[in-house]
Structure 1
């Protein structure tokens, strides 16, 4: 891979991460329930992603079988409810807190993968996991002196963690699929979201949705559920794993900035320490850093 392609990939992934970091803003500004937001996101996402897949030819060579379709449908159920919980968490806790806590997802993926395939989790990864969850407790802003925590805030943290678990389950389910385009997988998952969330959505109030709110929903569908994934998957092909791992931290950084700029919500010093612990431990696991700073662990599998 030449340097020119790598630079393009870095620019693409940077744009994708910035767009993902703004999801919370459009969720809040849409003024809709979490179920409504995800329903419209999936519905509009399907429309635009079908158009892209028709244009790019992905629908012709989809390589879907009945078994693989069933696997994607199951993963889609977990994915869409992951969004529901995360978006509800934005409203109850905050965009920044929920996004950072949500970034504990690699550890849940590791645990679920190990449990599903009976693989041993190394002590090194367990220690980094402990560091991450210490970070989660700091971001949650627990008053350790009196051990009190706002019940609604606790619910928001719990929803963000649950969303991370559901994302991890969805990712583990589809990880074994071979030869199927990521765009097709995403398209099926979004289609599942439309069907599954329809009974939960309050569509009777559709006439009351303002132009501004429709604009937010349109952006969530067209940009965050279609354009972002197109750019992101394209970038992945051009970049190495270490570069991707580093750049994923742009997402929570942008979310923290958005929360501060638009809603005047700022993390305190203790919470920022938690952010650093979560982000660094996640990176350390992805890069197989040794917890005790000896020789770097090399994974030959």
Structure 2
């Protein structure tokens, strides 16, 4: 067991767990924040890529570049939807729904890879969605307007895009992590540039910019670097455990710094979601093997 890699992965997940708090302090809407984040990540990680000399040995294949471009679209949409969810709902609730992504990976596998979902996987999926209803509140589902304004749709779309990112990236084997991220963040810049409202930057304070730069260089650049430097040296089961440091930190910060106080039903919903996901990860059926094998190879897309 590589203790150094475990520490790096734990630190990266703990840092990413604070992204919800940072996002709420930036003063920027989701699209503009993700745009800046892509710029910062491109500068930081491409710089490391060149410093380490990885760009000299990179092997570019048309098929993998195309898959990476598609993957880049998914990961950018994943970020935008997640940040939009943060704008209208509690960080804890948004993160809980966001972490439904592994369940969606199982669903995608059953549809596109003919991997049949067993009884346990189906039950875990049903329990997760039931948990989602509890944490959002049954009242939010009584009308279309309440449902749309609850933030549930944004959080759910972020989870789906995250799952599509994982599912797509499983087939990308030849490109280095730096090359993957470079292409994906460039996709984000190109995709979001026409959609950005640059007037949103006019009224930002120095403190806002501090949080924005932190979100770009720390939560994307530095966290990716730690991930890249650790993920390949750890077994899948350790990765599966340590990625849950992210939601734990997010929920704790939400409670401590933003005074989030969940109701009893919301606590039950969070427990149901994460309990079902953990059960699915550590006690997989044959149809869930793709999920476990994919965790180690695609975890770098998480951020």
Instruction: Say whether the fold is shared (TM-score over 0.5).
Output: yes
8 Å CA contact 1:21–1:255 kept in 2: the answer is: yes
Q: 1:120 to 1:182 in 2, by over 3 A?
A: same
Moved more, 198-207 or 33-42: 198-207
Q: Please state how far the C-alpha of 1:204 moved relative to its aligned partner.
A: 3.5
- Cα separation, 2, equivalents of 1:126 and 1:288: 13
What is the match of residue 272 of structure 1?
267
Q: Please state how far the C-alpha of 1:153 moved relative to its aligned partner.
A: 7.0
SS state of the match for residue 56, structure 2? coil
Q: Please state how far the C-alpha of 1:67 moved relative to its aligned partner.
A: 2.0
What is the match of residue 178 of structure 2?
183
Q: 1:196 to 1:136 in 2, by over 3 A?
A: same
Q: Please state how far the C-alpha of 1:148 moved relative to its aligned partner.
A: 6.9
- Cα separation, 1, equivalents of 2:230 and 2:262: 31
What is the match of residue 80 of structure 1?
76
Equivalent residue for 1:237, pick from 185, 208, 232: 232
- Cα separation, 2, equivalents of 1:209 and 1:276: 38
Q: Deviations over 1:195-247 (max 9, x none)?
A: 00001111244343222111111111111111111212322223222222122
8 Å CA contact 1:93–1:152 kept in 2: the answer is: no
Q: Please state how far the C-alpha of 1:42 moved relative to its aligned partner.
A: 0.4
TM-score, with normalisation over the residues of structure 1?
A: 0.89
Q: 1:43 to 1:125 in 2, by over 3 A?
A: same
Q: Over aligned residues, Cα RMSD in angstroms?
A: 2.4
Q: Please state how far the C-alpha of 1:83 moved relative to its aligned partner.
A: 0.7
8 Å CA contact 1:14–1:250 kept in 2: the answer is: yes
Write the mapping of 1:154-173 to structure 2, written as runs, cut at 5 A: 154-173=149-168
Q: Deviations over 1:22-46 (max 9, x none)?
A: 1111111110010000000001110
Q: Please state how far the C-alpha of 1:150 moved relative to its aligned partner.
A: 7.7
- Cα separation, 2, equivalents of 1:115 and 1:85: 24
- Cα separation, 1, equivalents of 2:167 and 2:72: 12
- Cα separation, 2, equivalents of 1:284 and 1:107: 11
Task: List gaps (5 residues or longer) in structure 2.
Answer: 294-303
8 Å CA contact 1:20–1:224 kept in 2: the answer is: yes
- Cα separation, 2, equivalents of 1:96 and 1:153: 18
The structure where helix makes up a greater share of residues is: 2
What is the match of residue 293 of structure 1?
none
8 Å CA contact 1:288–1:297 kept in 2: the answer is: no
Task: List gaps (5 residues or longer) in structure 1.
Answer: 291-295
State yes or no: 1:283 paired with 2:278.
yes
Q: Please state how far the C-alpha of 1:154 moved relative to its aligned partner.
A: 4.9
Q: Deviations over 1:4-57 (max 9, x none)?
A: x2x222211211111111111111111001000000000111001111111122
Equivalent residue for 1:97, pick from 62, 84, 93: 93
- Cα separation, 2, equivalents of 1:213 and 1:79: 24
TM-score, with normalisation over the residues of structure 2?
A: 0.88
